Amino acid sequence: MGSRVLVEPLPCSGSWNMAVDEVLLEASAVSGSSALRIYEWDAATVSLGYFQSAEDPSLESRFPGLAKVRRLSGGGAILHHHEVTYSITIADGHPLSVSPGVLYEEVHRRVIGLLAAWGIEVNLRGEAIKFAAEPFLCFSRGDARDIVIGRHKVMGSAQRRRRGAVLQHGSLLLSRSDFAPEFPGLVELAGLTRQRREVALALADALVSLLPGDPIEAGLTELEHLQAEELTRSRYANLSR
């Protein structure tokens, strides 16, 4: 299998979203395929970074009753609510898989270009913000490659590698969530008027050129679907690693 694009037709659960991302990473590691996936979340969900403790008191004190899942990638926790999420998997040996920074920069540069075409000026943060102790939430942290409007992060990304293949996924924050009102999105910061589905399709168009070869629109194979179902049950139904 070569390169494929998956734009999910409906929002999915956090456990399913993370399981599919892992299945696509494994496919890249095993078969050398690459994929771009655009998806949404069917409920407000907190994803913990891979190395974060599920016992962190911030998890329940801030987000009691919300769905929770652990990501394969590192970094801080993310509240996924009013956003569009992308994931991209690149096989070992491709220039975009060699250095972590290259894929970050190429994805974020294209997102900046997409938003500029809509009259929304965003930038890379340019310089990391240092903290004595890293904040629990990713959007409170400050990586140099974050996409920002002023001091507000509107996109951050994270990676996981497996046998040379790389998975990168990230969240484009469209609007503020009542569960994390300190993080305004593109609606509040720039007056975004486009609907979420339009943003998802435009994001796919902006990023598809990163995939090698001639990408096709294709969903999971039957085997991959079964693998994702198994991972949903065995790995992503709880917060254990």
Distance of CA 112 to the CA centre of its chain: 16
Contact 40, 200 (CB under 8 A): yes
Mapping DSSP to helix (H, G, I), strand (E, B) and coil, where does residue 172 land? strand
Tokens of 68: 């929770």
Is 138 in the active site? yes
Burial class (CB in 10 A: 0-12, 13-18, 19+), 93: exposed
144 Cβ partners below 8 Å, 6+ apart? 124, 125, 126, 127, 128
Residue 42, φ and ψ in degrees, nearest 5: -85, -5
Contact 76, 140 (CB under 8 A): yes
Instruction: Check 44, 138, 147, 158 and give the catalytic one.
Output: 138
Amino acid identity, position 193: T
The catalytic residues are 138
